[in-house]
A = this chain, B = another copy of it.
Amino acid sequence: MKMLDVLKSISNQTRLNILTWLKDPFAYFPNEELADYSPSLGVCVSDIAKKAKMSIPTVSVYLKTMSAADLLVATRKDQWTYYKRNEEAIQELAQLIKEKL
C-alpha cells in the first residue's frame, strides 16, 4: 500500500464522504436505488454521483482514484460499475498510522 497515495485519495471532502456513505448505503442512499443492492457489489457510479451532487465524470474518476489506492473495490456488471469499500485496506491504513507514522 502506498501510504501517500492513500492519504491523498482521502484528502478531499467528497471522497471522504463517499467512504462514509459506502459504509452503510441504506443509511445514505434512497432505498429505491438500492433495490438490488448487494454488499458484495456495492453502489453504482451514478447513484454515488447523485448523492454527491456532482457530475458523473468527476465522481467516476474519484472512485477510480480510490480503487487505485486500494480503498475501494470496483466490479463491472453489465453496464454498471459498482464500488464497495475495501475494509481490509482501511484497517491496514489505521494500523499503519497507529504504529508506523
A94 is an interface residue with CB less than 8 A from chain B? yes
- CB within 8 A of A90: which of B4, B95, B101? B101
User: How many copies of this protein are present in the complex?
Assistant: 2
A19 touches B93 (CB 8 A): no
Which residue of B is nearest A5, CB measured?
B11
Which residue of B is nearest A98, CB measured?
B94
A16 is an interface residue with CB less than 8 A from chain B? yes
Q: How near does chain B come to A6, taking the closest CB pair, in angstroms?
A: 9
- CB within 8 A of A7: which of B10, B20, B94, B98? B10
Name A residues whose Cβ lies closer than 8 Å to a Cβ of B.
3-4, 7-8, 10-13, 16, 19-20, 23, 90-91, 93-95, 97-98, 101
Q: Across chains A and B, which 4 residue pairs bring their CB atoms closest together, nearest first?
A: A94-B98, A94-B97, A11-B11, A7-B11
